[in-house]
Amino acid sequence: MKCYVKDLVVRNADGEVIVSVDELVVENGGTTSISGPSGSGKTTLLYCLSGLIKPNEGFVNWDEHNVTTMADNKLNKFRRENIGFIFQSPFLFDELDPLSNVTIQSAFNANLSKKAVNERAIELLDLFKVPLKGRKTASVLSGGEKQRLSMARGLVNNPKIILADEPTASLDGRNSKILMDCLFSYHKNHSTTLVVVSHDNDVLSRFINNLSLTQLRETDV
């Protein structure tokens, strides 16, 4: 799916601008990175792209879907069916095993059977090198395994769009490369639209379309 953002402004409770974007285009099936220093609003922008945050001004369109004006019930359905969000922190259920952590979110998707979800989850866990044998709970996984488990959970519904917020922030160089290799492999095999927010130069160097918040910021705000 193609994303088009125009005249987007997000303000905090005091009316101060925390994100402003004149124009942003993410092509269907493309890969785009968004960079900027900590506190510059990268995560806020990503949340706007997903509809989790509504901007004070402007709009975000995914094809013909305007996620800034969509009613909550329709927006929830759109996200569930189209967007896979990978958060900076895994937010796992430590008491559950890896497979249950991946499949629990899909319990709310009536379009998918339990069998199909389980098969898909196992396929992703294998692709992302997350071990199942001997792992009764997610608490025993390494930091890299937990982050890849979180990625599998975000992709189990076969999303057309992947939004990733600093997915390698807590990882060392080796695990960062493994995670990004997995993410790009998935993108290539499924022709998804991929947007990653990061300040990691090794991650940013892998993207053809590199944007910074400085480039995107409106000069007249």
36 vs 198: CA distance, rounded Å? 8
Which pLDDT value is given to residue 169?
83
The model's pLDDT over 101-119, given as tens digits with 9 standing for 90+, comes to 888 866 655 566 778 888 8
34 vs 211: CA distance, rounded Å? 5
Can you tell me which residue has the tokens 């958060």? 87
Q: Is the pLDDT of residue 8 over 70?
A: yes
Name the band, by pLDDT with cuts 50, 70 and 90, for residue 134.
low
End-to-end CA distance of the chain: 29
What does the pLDDT average to over 85-111?
79
Q: Kindly calculate the radius of gyration of the chain based on its CA atoms and give it in whole angstroms.
A: 17
Local structure of 26: helix, strand or coil: strand
Which pLDDT value is given to residue 123?
87
Question: In this structure, what are the phi and psi dihedrals at residue 93, rounded to the nearest 5 degrees?
Answer: -95, 100
**Structural domain count, the chain:** 1
Residue 143 covered by a domain: yes
The model's pLDDT over 164-214, given as tens digits with 9 standing for 90+, comes to 998 888 788 888 898 899 889 889 888 999 999 998 889 999 998 888 877
Residue 91 covered by a domain: yes
120 vs 16: CA distance, rounded Å? 44
Domain encompassing residue 62: 3-216
The model's pLDDT over 48-81, given as tens digits with 9 standing for 90+, comes to 999 999 999 999 999 999 999 999 999 998 998 8
Which pLDDT value is given to residue 32?
92
Q: What is the CATH number of the domain that holds 8?
A: 3.40.50.300
Residue 221 covered by a domain: no
Residue 167 covered by a domain: yes
The model's pLDDT over 146-171, given as tens digits with 9 standing for 90+, comes to 888 888 888 888 899 999 998 888 78
Order of strands, sheet of 65-66, starting from the edge strand that comes earlier in the sequence = 17-26, 3-11, 57-62, 65-66
